Structure 1
Amino acid sequence: MNRTYIQHYKSLFTLGIPIVIGQVGVIILGFADTLMIGHHSTNELAAASFVNNMFTLAIIFATGFSYGLTPIVGSLFGRGETSVVGRMLKNSIFANVLLAVLLTFIMWVLYLNIHRLGQPEELLPLMRPYFIVLLISLLFVLLFNAFKQFADGITDTRVSMWLLLGGNVMNIIGNYILIYGKFGIPEMGLLGAGISTLASRIMMVIVFALIFFCTKRYHIYKEGFVHSKINRADFIYLNKLGWPIALQMGMETASFSLSAIMVGWIGTTALAAHQIMLAISQVCFMMYYGMGAAVAVRVSNFNGQNDRVNVRRTAYSGFHIMLGIALIGALPIFLLRHQLGGWFSDSQAVSVTVAQLIIPFIVYQFGDGLQINFANALRGIADVKPMMYIAFIAYFLISLPAGYFFGFVMDWGIVGIWMAFPFGLTTAGIMYYLRFRSRTLEKH
């Protein structure tokens, strides 16, 4: 049994580490954005916090939708049906473009009402142009997602890794030039960060498309893509899997993004500290995300072969790895809690608030790892619809009301808002685990 699990650990690391490395690029970009903007202006940091949280909700929702492709491609790949994979990618791109149009419209309506959300008045002139540039970039996020989930599903996680790393390096360089006005470029501040993000997202899609259509690497899948048509059956199947995952991930992210609105009621310092904590939380989340994606791919491969024993062993191995990540990551963050805020902002008040938020942050790591692991295991077996209801209970009925209660009724402020996150994440994790155990035992 131990040797069996060791083999699963190795396979998950082989698949997951390139995804983690790619996401480390996202983490570094988040840190660089926060550092550069924070040292340029605390008001710009607070404005970025609010806008980024709103777009994080849309992007995570879109990413969740694209996840519907992974179990489909993973099962087809496990059965060796390569010609169908290209056809599914084509339908996925079409579905993602339609979703991009819908999300862009929704975010535009939000933009028109941004002044009604109770945010500090002095931040609105900074928020608006930054919001518009990120809005333009949404389409390219969804196109990249479609290509990435296809590549992950066929266990080729390295291409996405290199594209993410390259895109983020481009973004960081662009940030430096545009935020501070280097090499004769006017100093743009927060708007410059948005323009740099837009340019890097466009470039990543162009390069991924060139790799897919112009290299031998994906030739066998390109044939299925080129010689197939967008069809109703595939489109409906992708939506049947994609929407529940999107809603589940969207509700999870909403517990953080909507909390940003409550944090904004407290003030600019709290909002800046919230943004810094979200940047720090990305470190652990992206590592969980990478290993969780590997779990989904491996589970879908075994599910395609109808190997229920290895479906379960893969999921449990993934959770063992995530527990290790949580334990290893928590220690340095706790020891550096009084220094972390100063890395991002010159404000002493912001640094003190960040230190206070470290404890609730560490407490929710177990629940975060648990829910990411078993949510991905459920995606791997294409059992996604119940996750919507679980997410609604955990995040809308537990986490958000608890945040309001602790933050404003108990008058604990931003610390109270963050204290609610462990309740929602752990509840979701336990319920996903119970659902996965029930479904895999039932089919054994």
Structure 2
Amino acid sequence: MNQPIPFTDHFRKLIALGVPIIIGQIGMIVLGFADTMMIGHYNTESLGAASFVNNLFNLVIIGSTGFSYGLTPLIGELFGANDKTGIGGKLKNALLANFTVAVIFTLAMTVLFFNIEKLDQPAELIPLIKPYYLVVLASLVFILLFNAFKQFADGIMDSRTAMWILLFGNVLNIMGNYVLIYGVAGFPELGLLGAGISTLFSRIVMLCVFIALFFLLPRYRNYRTGFIQSVVNRADFLRLNAMGWPLALQMGMETASFSLTTIMVGWIGTVALAAHQVMFTISTLFFMMYYGMGAATAVRVSYFRGQARAADVRRAAFSGLYLILVMAVISTTLFWQFRFAIGSWFTDNTAVLATLGSLFPIMMIYQFGDSMQIAFANALRGIMDVKIMMLFSFIAYFVISLTSSYLLGFVMGYGIVGIWMAFPLGLTSAGILFWLRFLYKTRPAA
């Protein structure tokens, strides 16, 4: 009988696997982070329009990322069994599944585009919102196809490839922002639309680079053989959907507790919307850092599940929780130290800066509930117990968080502060529900 691996070894392996994923996850957010900073200094109206569009699409992008996460535990199990040909076949089916989801999300967001005026946003923002919305919409398919390759690489413990590609994409995007937002080097000054075009171009290039590496690098040779020789089949396609949709809905409902409140914040005004965008950008950066370690936790949990090592399944999950909590303490400490300077990175508007000051403490509080729900959501993903998370997420993020946002923000009259006060309630509730479910599913046999 295998002895459980010491926690120190779990920490070491998780850090080695998780740090490149974290850097890659941060890279994904930096695409939006750079946009927000540059747009904020361009003008406040563009920042408000970017807030509205980016928060709507974050719901779709994070939900679609959740769908792609369904591939990782399947790859992890096959990797533990050294079935490289099978992994290549899973990737081919995952690309088809992700493309199908991209088409569905693109059609849904197209319908929303034709009803954008009905969402009661400030009238002066609509001419900025519409063209930017269309450019971001065009990038969805490239995001989902890239995610399939990324989850394949993460599942075979090759988390560095995606990291380098994402970092390259960030540099490309930031350069494009500078050129197209402000109109330098002979390019037209496009403002917010220029930021969207730059982001779209960088996402296309990142996908093309990953495809080229997969078909050219020697270390992927056996996986390529499986990819080329395999055929798209109903069984794999259905299994990927069975794993992916619950994860998409779980992550989508979590993001909805933030993104759908953007509509509520828009009812308050442009200043509140701009402040919400800045805070959402910062909080999403923290979230993706934690989720990088959570993704590594899912890979490790699925690996030990494939080897029927129940004790290490639990140890891997709790090791991930401890590491994420350490990250939360460090990040909130740094955040507090630089709280007065952070707002000025994004905007010079004094009204927006004053609103930000009231939201900083709330964001710090919910980092710990966020840590718990990320750790155990990924632990449940690793043991492929994903369907129940849809119910738990609905309770935490819609029944508790979204409802509380409206009640605290408008019924009780606390405005944007009240809207944000609801977020810790939803995240902590989700963390407790996921934790209890994981303990139940991995309890020792009687």
Distance in 2 between the 1:2 and 1:30 partners? 41
C-alpha contact 1:71 1:300 (8 A) present in aligned 2: yes
Give the aligned partner of residue 323 of structure 1: 325
Equivalence map 1:51-90=2 (5 Å): 51-90=53-92
- The match for 1:11 among 10, 13, 22 is 13
Give the aligned partner of residue 191 of structure 2: 189
Q: TM-score, normalised by structure 2?
A: 0.98
% identical aligned pairs: 59
Residues 1:163 and 2:165 aligned together: yes
Give the aligned partner of residue 182 of structure 2: 180
Kindly provide the CA deviation profile for residues 16-53 of structure 1, in whole angstroms up to 9, marking residues without a partner as x. Answer: 00011122323433332111100101000000000000
Give the aligned partner of residue 204 of structure 1: 206
What SS does structure 2 have at the residue aligned with 1:441?
coil
Equivalence map 1:309-388=2 (5 Å): 309-388=311-390
The amino acid across from 1:290 in the alignment is G
Kindly provide the CA deviation profile for residues 103-154 of structure 1, in whole angstroms up to 9, marking residues without a partner as x. Answer: 0000000100010001000000000000000111100000000000010011
Higher mean displacement: 209-218 or 115-124: 209-218
- The match for 2:231 among 229, 232, 235 is 229
Deviation at 1:346, TM superposition (A): 1.1
Deviation at 1:443, TM superposition (A): 5.6
What SS does structure 2 have at the residue aligned with 1:219?
helix
C-alpha contact 2:132 2:193 (8 A) present in aligned 1: yes
Deviation at 1:217, TM superposition (A): 1.8
Deviation at 1:2, TM superposition (A): 11
Give the aligned partner of residue 432 of structure 2: 430
Distance in 2 between the 1:27 and 1:203 partners? 17
Equivalence map 1:34-53=2 (5 Å): 34-53=36-55
Distance in 1 between the 2:364 and 2:127 partners? 35
Higher mean displacement: 320-329 or 265-274: 320-329
Residues 1:397 and 2:374 aligned together: no
The amino acid across from 2:104 in the alignment is L
Deviation at 1:343, TM superposition (A): 1.7
Q: TM-score, normalised by structure 1?
A: 0.98
The amino acid across from 2:361 in the alignment is I
Distance in 2 between the 1:235 and 1:426 partners? 34
Give the aligned partner of residue 124 of structure 1: 126
Deviation at 1:286, TM superposition (A): 1.7
What SS does structure 2 have at the residue aligned with 1:140?
helix
Higher mean displacement: 174-183 or 19-28: 19-28
Deviation at 1:282, TM superposition (A): 2.5
Distance in 1 between the 2:286 and 2:261 partners? 19
- The match for 1:271 among 263, 273, 292 is 273
Kindly provide the CA deviation profile for residues 296-347 of structure 1, in whole angstroms up to 9, marking residues without a partner as x. Answer: 1111111111111111001101111111111111122123323322221110
Distance in 2 between the 1:401 and 1:130 partners? 30
Distance in 2 between the 1:415 and 1:175 partners? 31
Distance in 2 between the 1:95 and 1:426 partners? 32
Distance in 2 between the 1:366 and 1:92 partners? 33
Give the aligned partner of residue 153 of structure 1: 155
The amino acid across from 1:63 in the alignment is T
Give the aligned partner of residue 245 of structure 1: 247
What SS does structure 1 have at the residue aligned with 2:426?
helix
Deviation at 1:278, TM superposition (A): 1.1
- The match for 1:286 among 268, 272, 288 is 288
C-alpha contact 1:295 1:314 (8 A) present in aligned 2: yes
C-alpha contact 1:339 1:351 (8 A) present in aligned 2: no
Higher mean displacement: 115-124 or 18-27: 18-27
Distance in 1 between the 2:445 and 2:79 partners? 21
Distance in 1 between the 2:5 and 2:300 partners? 17
What is the CA RMSD across the aligned residues, in angstroms?
A: 1.3
Deviation at 1:398, TM superposition (A): 0.3
What SS does structure 1 have at the residue aligned with 2:308?
coil
Residues 1:115 and 2:117 aligned together: yes
The amino acid across from 1:203 in the alignment is V
C-alpha contact 2:5 2:312 (8 A) present in aligned 1: no
- The match for 1:414 among 416, 426, 430 is 416
Distance in 1 between the 2:102 and 2:189 partners? 31
Distance in 2 between the 1:287 and 1:336 partners? 18
Deviation at 1:442, TM superposition (A): 5.0
Deviation at 1:97, TM superposition (A): 0.7
Distance in 1 between the 2:167 and 2:361 partners? 31
The amino acid across from 1:351 in the alignment is L
Distance in 2 between the 1:175 and 1:62 partners? 25
Higher mean displacement: 328-337 or 317-326: 328-337
C-alpha contact 2:405 2:422 (8 A) present in aligned 1: yes
Give the aligned partner of residue 215 of structure 1: 217
The amino acid across from 1:184 in the alignment is G
What SS does structure 1 have at the residue aligned with 2:203?
helix
Structure 1's 75 and 2: CA in aligned 2 closer, same or farther, altered over 3 A? closer
Distance in 2 between the 1:442 and 1:43 partners? 57
C-alpha contact 1:342 1:348 (8 A) present in aligned 2: no
C-alpha contact 1:87 1:225 (8 A) present in aligned 2: yes
